[in-house]
Structure 1
Amino acid sequence: MTVETLPQQFIHADKIFNLRDIGGWDAAGGAKVKTGQVFRSDNLGMVTEADRDLLVNRLGVRHVIDLRRGPELEQAGRFPDVDGVEFHHFELLHVTWEDIDLGIDASASHEEVVRFLRQRYSGMYEAGYKAIRDSLDVIATGEPVLFHCMAGKDRTGLVAAALLSVLGVSEEDIAADYELSMVGIRRWRAWRDANMGKPANEGGLTTPAEAMLETLQEMKSRFGSMPAYVAATGFDRSEALRSQLLE
């Protein structure tokens, strides 16, 4: 996929494949989510000098939130120390998927994937609530923020969904934002195949919009609404978020 054909949310980088602006979505009351303030991405362990310049100097990122487990940081690397950029490690706690033997892999049916992801995501929201709260606290400072995990789809997608819910973005658009990660995954796989070789068996799952829609419905059944869930995490700056990120 060429730079010219990337969806508008994407920002081209050398070795960041799922980098995009979370802004631009319609919100409640005719508002829009501001662009240029909050970004989401995949792993930053391979960033080039040009990527670092893009994030720090062109996008103005002042906070990087890493949602991964400690061993993932050690194995895949992390965003380097840069003057003026604060690094936050907020592990989004969850049972590792490798330890769940339900026969869900790249050959699973669409329905099986959606059910598996809904179950995992709703569980991650509860187990990892502190990372959700702490990430939103950093975003509420009003300084440009980038948050990420490994592929930038699951843990990153949950923080994005919580944030967009507080901002009044529709569930359909939240699910559309989530589904865009498949573009990033395809870009990563193309680079990997060209530079590291194609694996015999493709790992990882897709990001069907239905998985996020069903997750949001599940959280509504548990908490009444996604904003109510966010409040239950202890986050109390929702008005500040709306004031800073809506236009």
Structure 2
Amino acid sequence: MRHRNGRAGGYIAILLALFCLPYFSLVTAAGKGIVSLENPSVKEFLTKVFYVDKRYRVSCVLDYVGREKGRQDLPRPAEITFPRTKGKVWINLRLKGGKPAIGWKEKVKGGDGRAYVYNLVPRSRYAYTVQDTGGRTIKSGVLYTGGTLRMCRVDGVRNVRDIGGWRTGDGRRIRYGKIYRGGELDGKHHVTEKGKQTMKKVLRIGVEVDLRKKKETKDRNRSVLGNKVAYYRYSTLSYRLPDRKKATYAKVFRRIFRSVEQEQPVYLHCVYGCDRTGTIAFLLEGLLGVNESDLAKEYELSSFYLPRTRDGAFSGYRELVQEIKTYPGDTLQDKITGYFHGLGFTDAQVKRFRDRMLTEAP
């Protein structure tokens, strides 16, 4: 395995052998008929890397970045084939056993004989039909999705993913569709009308939590997704949790807790969806019980959009973890729980949030 800057060396090779061990906590074995939603480089990173170095001297993610052409912050699509026909056809999918809103519907060219479907939920079963414009069913079937990580494709937006899927220390798993993280919707990259429809109708975003400074938002006071999406802005910091910002962080987490309780999926973002967003995501996922290695890997997934390694010069991730470890507790989850106690959250509130965010792992 290569060092992240591309230079091989005996000392580095030994470190990587020690700190980048095979790991399988996020991987589902793909059987016959199961569609993998993870792109190959991301899947390999999640499969092969397990961090045991608690001093954060080594990062492995850049060994996997740039292996494929094009954007790597996107999922693989599910492909549905059907007999070619003239005109347009409707592709309809619905999550089996799920709410009707958790589905996908789009009109495509019938002459193509295939359609590519994004933003499906991993480890799920979908029923699908292909119909012509007259309502005649051309094909129907069942589609099974594999993998665990749910990256999302939103036209005009970068670095979007669901925080669901990660295993926790008590054997449960974070639910999909509760909290999404990503880049800004109205800056350098601007969500398109198609992207807005994806966020509202597929991801079902009900609350936008904007972590940018006021000057970065150009005094925005409503969501670009429309009036039906509630908008809240809180100016937070990257990797730092100073006392002067304690009230702000408390407001951020209370808003997220309340939105989850009200069944309103949250879109959490700053500018690039890496640093300020990564700080909040780290604390939420750690509170839910994700282990330290997986927390680091979830943070480093943003490197498939912009380089953000846990040992990098542009990252304060190591300092964030070290600060959290000054709180009392036997485990990292205990220490993060202590941080939330300092923000004014009770054990009952934390337990209620965990129960709503976690499900039994298959």
Q: One fold, TM greater than 0.5?
A: yes
Structure 1 residues 81 and 21: CA distance shift in structure 2, 3 A: closer
Q: Distance in 2 between matches of 1:221 and 1:57?
A: 42
- Pairs within 5 Å for 1:26-175: 26-45=167-186, 46-74=190-218, 79-80=223-224, 82-92=226-236, 94=237, 121=239, 123-124=240-241, 126-141=243-258, 142=260, 143-175=264-296
Displacement of 1:246 in angstroms is 0.3
1:134-183: CA deviations, max 9, x gaps?
A: 22212222221111001111110111011011101111111111101111
**Identity across matched positions, percent:** 28
C-alpha deviation, 1:125, in angstroms: 5.3
For residues 140 and 77 of structure 1, what CA distance do their matches in structure 2 show? 21
The two structures, once aligned, show a CA RMSD in angstroms of 2.5
1:182 aligns with 2:287: no
1:76-100 deviations in Å (ceiling 9; x for gaps): 99741613210001111x4xxxxxx
Provide the secondary structure at the position in 2 that maps to 1:65: strand
* Displacement of 1:61: 0.8
Q: 1:90 to 1:36 in 2, by over 3 A?
A: same
| Structure 1 unaligned residues grouped into runs of 5+ | 95-119, 186-205
How many angstroms apart in 1 are the aligned matches of 2:151 and 2:217? Answer: 24
- CA distance 1:59–1:219, shift in 2 (3 Å): same
Displacement of 1:213 in angstroms is 4.8
TM-score, L = length of structure 1: 0.73
CA contact (8 A) 2:234 2:248 kept: yes
- Choose between structure 1 and 2: higher strand proportion: 2
C-alpha contact 1:47 1:79 (8 A) present in aligned 2? no
Tell me the distance in 2 between the aligned counterparts of 1:215 and 1:24. Answer: 23
The answer to whether residue 317 in structure 2 is matched with residue 216 in structure 1 is no
Q: Equivalent residue of 2:232, what SS?
A: strand
- The 8 Å contact of residues 163 and 180 in structure 2, kept in 1 or not, is answered as yes
Give me the whole-angstrom Cα distance separating, in 2, the residues matched to 1:70 and 1:214: 26
How many residue pairs end up in the alignment?
Answer: 200
Alpha-carbon separation, structure 1, partners of 2:301 and 2:200 = 24
The CA distance in 2 between the partners of 1:145 and 1:77, in whole Å, is: 17
Q: For 1:43 and 1:76, locate their aligned partners in 2 and report how far apart those are by CA, in whole Å.
A: 12
Secondary structure of 1:159's counterpart equals helix
What SS does the aligned partner of 1:26 have? coil
The runs of at least 4 consecutive aligned structure 1 residues that moved more than 6 Å come to 75-78
Q: CA deviation at 1:68?
A: 0.5
Gapped regions of structure 2 (runs ≥ 5): 1-69, 78-147, 330-334
Does the C-alpha gap of structure 1 residues 60 and 207 become closer, same or farther in structure 2, counting only changes over 3 Å? Answer: same
Aligned to 1:240: 352
Say if 2:142 is the partner of 1:19. no
- TM-score, normalised via structure 2 length: 0.51
Q: Which amino acid aligns with 1:240?
A: R
Cα distance change of structure 1 residues 81 and 8 upon mapping to structure 2, 3 Å threshold:
closer
The structure carrying a bigger helix percent of its residues is: 1
Structure 1 residues 144 and 4: CA distance shift in structure 2, 3 A:
closer
Q: Is the 8 A contact 2:302 2:308 kept in 1?
A: yes
Aligned-partner residue type, residue 245 of structure 1:
M
